[in-house]
Amino acid sequence: MKKGHVIALITAGLLLITFTFAAAGGRMHRGDHQGMPGTPAQFFKIHASDLDLSDKQLTNIEQICAPVEKETIQLRADIQILRTDIQAEMDKEKPDRAKVFALIDDVSKLESQLHKSHITVRLDINEILTPEQQEKVKTFHQKRRMREKGKMRGSCQQRGSSL
């Protein structure tokens, strides 16, 4: 294989890895976190009494989340299909650079749409909550982030790495 092809494949591979990590970082709750439910609606159902949510608030939250959950499933599937298309193009003897870059742009657009959708849900739910409830939710999320940071540091130290 020519040196230029090798460099192109390495570059494309790095781009694909970068987009994969970016997509993972942009996700809202998927149940990946210990003790955290899979969706915002599930989070609020589980913590309804802790947050002193009324039945009306809980119903409104479910109405906000339901259509977005379906949209999220579709967007993630579309993103995965595009990533498969990128990989298929990169596996060719002579990948079409313009096509690969166009597919990457398509992935970015869908990831942006997904992220905006999740932020919209958060903002819409925040409008339903009282200031006290908002503070409790914020505290839940801060505690989760602290636990995750602790786990990440612990796993780096176990491997002998330092930050």
Q: Encode pLDDT of 65-121 as tens digits.
A: 999 999 999 999 999 999 999 999 999 999 999 999 999 999 999 999 999 999 999
This prediction has a pTM of 0.63
Residue 59, both tokens:
């119903």
Q: Which amino acid is at 94?
A: K
Q: What is the DSSP string of 6-64?
A: HHHHHHHHHHHHHHHHHHHHT----S-STT--SSHHHHHHHTTTTTT--HHHHHHHHHH
So what's the pLDDT on residue 156? 55
Answer with the residue of higher pLDDT: 19 or 148.
Answer: 148
pLDDT above 80: residue 154: no
Q: Which amino acid is at 14?
A: L
Q: How confident is the model at residue 58 (pLDDT cuts 50, 70, 90)?
A: very high
**Total Cβ atoms within 10 A of residue 99:** 13
So what's the pLDDT on residue 83? 97
- Convert the pLDDT of each residue in 12-56 to its tens digit: 554 555 444 444 444 444 444 444 457 888 889 998 988 999 999
Instruction: Burial-class residue 86 by CB neighbours within 10 Å (0-12, 13-18, 19+).
Output: buried
CA distances from 151 to 60, 83, 90, 101, 146 (A): 34, 30, 36, 36, 9
Q: How far apart are CA 81 and CA 61, in angstroms?
A: 30
So what's the pLDDT on residue 157? 54
pLDDT above 90: residue 131: yes
